Structure 1
Amino acid sequence: MKLFRRIRHKLILDNKKSKYLKYAFGEIILVVIGILIALQINNWNQKRIDKNTEQIYLTGLKEEFEISKWKLEELININKKNYSGAKKIVELSTQNNDFTKESLFSKLLVETFSDDVAFNSNNSLLIEMINSGNLKNLSNTELRKQLTNWISTLEDISRQEEELSNQRIKVLDMFRTDKYSLNTVFQQAGVSNNFGLPKTENEVNNLSLLNSKEFENNIILFIITSIATEKAHYNPLMNDLDSILKLINEEINLSQ
């Protein structure tokens, strides 16, 4: 800068106005070029920072959705086990061996209705990104769209699971009367010790439940709702998971 001032000062002293103007103009051009270069470097640095931030988010989202996929796979298997057991309970009404039927009935009741069905996906990072507005850091528009739709899809899944839970409770509620015995069910299924229940010598026969149309209807509604949960909700949700993971992996691979 001192050199520039000296040159300007000499030109003014020598009364070389035209050369001074040309020099001043050239100096302005140099300053502008310097500013533009500085801005470009700053833009490059910001893009690099944004890209690094995006990769951090993508890596975190990949981990979350891979865990969610594993959970959904397990849940689909549990739901399938539940409605398969419920179908076997309906089939029991056609068997004649009461001793075998009573024991099998108890085991099927425990296996079918012990596990509730509810999808608990890992969404902590995604929710943080949405709430903080950082979802915009993802450059892939389709990925942002699918991630936004994911939350509303989970709300729909939750409503379906609530309906399935209601159907499960309606079956279990039939054991709240003095006509039937859960203690008998647990003893014959061999799980009484799991709950610390005392063994009773006077077991109540629960087979009359198989002759109850109310019980049969509740079981069938449970089966229908379970299958609908799998076919109309869990399977499409699995497709959404695969699609999101595919987009995330593509974005991660682009930067490598």
Structure 2
Amino acid sequence: MIRFFRKIRLNLLSEKKFTKYLFYALGEIILVVIGILIALAINNANQNRINKNYEHTYLLGLEQEFETSRMKLKELIAVNKSNANNSRKILQYITYKNETPTEVVFSNLLYNTFSNDIAFNPNNSLLNEMINSGNLKNLSNTELRRQLTNWLSTMEDISRQEKELSVQREKVLDMFRTDKSSLRTILEQTSVYDQIGLPQSENEISNLHLLNSTAFENNILMFIFTSYATERAHYLPTMQDLESILHLIRKEIKE
């Protein structure tokens, strides 16, 4: 097409028809510009398609990660709630002296409440990779990008709160590191000794005196308060954030 215009332009020059020459020269320039614009449009369309495919892949990966994190947090909330409820039962025995538990009941309450530390370990490997590589910008939804960026700072807040909860848990356990209480009794009464093959003691030391200890009561109260704060001020709001992120991710996947 351009050769055709060039041939006409040369003929017009030879015939000294300058007005028509300028017209055809302009037409040739317009054709070149149109060709460039079409090429750019095709290239942009291909790049947008590639970016959309990348985004879809990231969204699927993020959905899987955050769904796994949601299940982990759900289980952790249940464990934290169970620990707090068991602590309240211990506090009831401290408060109401006419309801003294048996050694077995008290040992099981202590073991079930304080045997495991609590820590939320979300799946953030893909999110971290996206942030570190700058690929978070490939997500077109600005609200989703904002929430994903805030998610990591939320995890830092939760980690600090869990450390405080761990401190309160350790304060209760420290009372069994003295010669006034017996960790062995707890383990024997809960059959942990039998499971790992440790020798049984002939002289059982009772831990029921702790129910009359103000220090023990204070430690239990601090553990209850910290467990409550962990759930209400951290775990439940984080669950809401998590579900909001999942909603945005799934909405983008469908579009």
- TM bucket by the smaller chain? over 0.9
In 2, Cα distance between equivalents of 1:164 and 1:97: 28
Tell me which residue corresponds to 2:116: 115
Choose 6-15 or 160-169, whichever is displaced more: 6-15
Cα shift readout 1:95-131 (whole Å, capped 9, x = no counterpart):
6586x51111111111111121110011111111112
In 1, Cα distance between equivalents of 2:196 and 2:174: 19
The equivalences for 1:154-165 within 5 A come to: 154-165=155-166
Give 1:235 shift. Answer: 0.6
In 2, Cα distance between equivalents of 1:97 and 1:217: 19
Change (3 A) 1:195 1:219: farther
Cα shift readout 1:24-57 (whole Å, capped 9, x = no counterpart):
1111111111111111111111111111111111
Change (3 A) 1:97 1:200: farther
In 2, Cα distance between equivalents of 1:84 and 1:129: 40
Give 1:8 shift. Answer: 3.4
* 1:102 maps to amino acid: E
The equivalences for 1:17-32 within 5 A come to: 17-32=18-33
Query: Retained in 2: the 8 A contact 1:78–1:115?
Result: no
Query: Retained in 1: the 8 A contact 2:93–2:99?
Result: no
Give yes or no for the alignment of 1:36 onto 2:43: no
In 1, Cα distance between equivalents of 2:6 and 2:50: 38
Query: Retained in 2: the 8 A contact 1:92–1:101?
Result: no
The alignment-based identity, stated in percent, is 63
Tell me which residue corresponds to 1:149: 150
Query: Retained in 1: the 8 A contact 2:148–2:245?
Result: yes
In 2, Cα distance between equivalents of 1:212 and 1:42: 76
In 1, Cα distance between equivalents of 2:230 and 2:16: 91
Query: Retained in 1: the 8 A contact 2:77–2:231?
Result: yes
Change (3 A) 1:202 1:95: same
Give yes or no for the alignment of 1:220 onto 2:229: no
In 2, Cα distance between equivalents of 1:160 and 1:108: 23
The equivalences for 1:153-232 within 5 A come to: 153-232=154-233
Tell me which residue corresponds to 1:46: 47
- Give SS of 1:175's match: coil
**Structure 1 unmatched ranges of 5 or more:** none
In 2, Cα distance between equivalents of 1:27 and 1:176: 92
In 2, Cα distance between equivalents of 1:153 and 1:141: 18
**Structure 2 unmatched ranges of 5 or more:** none
Tell me which residue corresponds to 2:249: 248
Query: Retained in 1: the 8 A contact 2:5–2:24?
Result: no
Give yes or no for the alignment of 1:75 onto 2:83: no
How many matched pairs? 253
In 2, Cα distance between equivalents of 1:47 and 1:181: 67
Query: Retained in 2: the 8 A contact 1:129–1:135?
Result: yes
Choose 71-80 or 189-198, whichever is displaced more: 189-198
Normalising by structure 2, report the TM-score. Answer: 0.93
Tell me which residue corresponds to 1:126: 127
Give 1:14 shift. Answer: 3.4
* 1:109 maps to amino acid: L
In 1, Cα distance between equivalents of 2:136 and 2:106: 51
Normalising by structure 1, report the TM-score. Answer: 0.93
In 1, Cα distance between equivalents of 2:161 and 2:170: 14
Change (3 A) 1:191 1:17: same
Give 1:18 shift. Answer: 2.9
In 2, Cα distance between equivalents of 1:225 and 1:18: 88
In 2, Cα distance between equivalents of 1:56 and 1:213: 57
